[in-house]
Amino acid sequence: MKIAVYGPGCANCQNLEKNTKQAVKEIGLGAEITQIKEIDQILEAGIIATPGLAIDGEIKSMGRVPSVEEIKKWIKAKM
Amino acid sequence: MVPDILQEAVNYLTYVLMGLNPASPLGSAVNFFIYDTIKILILLTVIIFAIAFFRSYISPLKVRKALGKRNEYLGNVVAALIGIITPFCSCSAVPLFIGFVESGVPLGVTFSFLIASPMINEVAIILLGGMVGWQITAVYIISGLFIAIIAGIIIGKLKLEGEVESYVYEMIEKIKAAEASGMTLEEDKQTLKERALSSRDYTIDLLKRITPYVIIAIGIGAIIHGYVPTDFLVTYVGANNPLAVPIAVLIGVPLYSNAAGIIPLVAVLIDKGIPVGTALAFMMAVTALSLPEMIILRKVLKPKLLAIFIAILAVSITAIGYLFNAIT
C-alpha cells in the first residue's frame, strides 16, 4: 500500500505525517509512506489545499489533519 | 458572571494568600498576569475547539464551488465571510490561490478571501475579545471585513488578471489533468466522533504551540500594566501625533504574526493610552500584511499585482486607523 502525505512542511503537514505513521504502526501494516513537498507535485496530484493525504492514488483528505482513527479507517478499507 | 468570579478568586490569591499590595506595581502586575493567563487559556481552549468542530463541515472543494458561482460584489462579501472561518495555513496560500483561479473564481473575489483569512483569525479574535472587550473586537471584525470586500472589489475592477504569474496557469493545467484522470476527493463523510477527535487533537496541538508566546506576551503586558503610568503613551503616540497610524502600520508589516502573541501587548497599550484606531491598524498590519506571506504570494503574483495588493491594504488599514481615532 502506498500512502502519500502532501504538504510543504508547516506544522499541520507535520502533524498529518505523524498521525499517518502512527496509524500505520497501530495496524501493523508495511505501508510505504512518501512525503511530497513540492507545490508542482502537490497540484499534479489534484491537491488544492494542504495538507493532503492519498492512499494508493485516491485522495482521502485535503486542507485538514485527519485523526489517527480516521486514517486507520481508510487504510483498513483499502486492505 | 464567570470573569467576575475569576477576578475575585485571583484577587484573593494575590492580595490575601500572597500578601501583595493591590496599590503597588508588583501587586497589580501579578494580579493581571494570573487573571489574564487563566482567562485567556480557558477562552482559547473552548473557542478553538468549537471553531475547529464547525470548520470540519467546510471543505476546500465546497468553498471553491460556493465562490465560483458568485458574481462580483456578492462574491466578494461571501469570500470575505468564508475567509474568516477557513483555516489558512500559509503554506496553503499557493495551492488555494491556484485552485480558486482554476475553478473560475474571479480574481477580486479570491483576494477578498486572501485578505480576510489571515486578518480575521479566530485565535486573534478570541484573545482580543477577552482582553479589550467585545465592542472593540466587533469593530475590528467589521473593519477587517470591510477592507477585505472593498479591496477585493477594487482589485477586481482593475482587471489585473494578466498580472498573475504564468506559473499559475501551468499549474492549473496540472490540476485539470489530475481531475480528468479521476483524482478528486469524494465528499467528506466524517462521523461526529471523528470530528470531535480531530478538533480535540487540533486544539491541543495549537495550544501547545501558542501558549508559550501567549504567556510571554501577557507577562510583558503585566509589567507594562503594573509599572507604566496610565496615559504615559498618550504623550508620545497619542492623538497629538498625526503620523502615529502610518508608523504603526509600517512597524506591523515585517512582523510575523503570531497573532496570539501580539494581542496581549496591544490590549495593554490601549489600556495605557494608545488610541484605539492606531492599535487596530497595527493589529491589521501585522496579520494581513505579513512579510512571509508576501514572499509566498510572490510565487503566484507578478510584482505589479503584489505591489498593488500591498498598497491597497496599507492605505485602507491606515484609513481605518485614522477613522477610528477620529470618532473615539
Smallest Cα distance from A54 to chain B, Å: 9
Structural domain contains residue B21: no
Name the phi and psi angles at B181, rounded to 5.
Answer: -90, 15
**CB-based contacts of B224, cutoff 8 Å, min separation 6:** B265, B268, B269, B272
pLDDT of residue B146: 92
Can you give the residue range of the structural domain that contains B173?
Answer: 60-179+225-327
All cell numbers assigned to B56: 470540519
pLDDT of residue B194: 82
Q: Mark whether A10 is an active-site residue.
A: yes
Flag if A43 and B56 touch (Cβ within 8 Å): no
Chain B (106-145) residues lying within 8 Å, Cβ to Cβ, of chain A: none
Residues of A near B (CB-CB distance < 8 A)? 7-13, 15, 19, 39-40, 42-51, 54, 57-67, 69-70
All cell numbers assigned to B26: 508588583
Can you give the residue range of the structural domain that contains A50?
Answer: 2-78
Q: Which of B64, B82, B92 has the most A C-beta neighbours within 10 Å, making it the best mutation to test the interface with A?
A: B92
Structural domain contains residue B270: yes
Structural domain contains residue B317: yes
Structural domain contains residue B294: yes
Flag if B201 and A64 touch (Cβ within 8 Å): no
**Closest by CA position to B82, among listed B91, B90, B70:** B70
Structural domain contains residue B268: yes
Structural domain contains residue B312: yes
Name the domain count of chain B.
1
Name the domain count of chain A.
1
pLDDT of residue B83: 82
Specify the CATH number for the domain of residue A48. 3.40.30.10
The pLDDT tens digits along chain A (79 residues) read 889 999 887 777 888 899 999 999 998 888 889 998 888 888 888 887 888 899 988 888 888 888 888 888 888 888 8
**CB-based contacts of B233, cutoff 8 Å, min separation 6:** B269, B272, B273, B274
CA distance B202 to B96: 21
Flag if A46 and B299 touch (Cβ within 8 Å): no
Structural domain contains residue B10: no
| Predicted structure pTM score | 0.78
Flag if A44 and B178 touch (Cβ within 8 Å): yes
Structural domain contains residue B76: yes
Judge whether B204 and B45 are in contact, CB under 8 Å. no
The pLDDT tens digits along chain B (328 residues) read 556 888 888 888 888 888 888 888 888 888 888 988 888 888 888 888 888 888 888 777 777 777 777 677 888 888 888 888 776 566 677 777 888 888 888 888 888 888 888 888 777 787 787 777 888 888 889 989 999 999 999 988 888 878 888 888 888 887 788 777 776 776 667 788 888 888 888 888 888 888 887 888 788 878 877 887 766 666 665 555 677 778 777 777 666 555 666 777 777 777 777 788 888 888 888 777 777 778 878 888 889 989 998 898 888 888 888 888 887 7
Whether the ipTM is more than 0.85: the answer is no
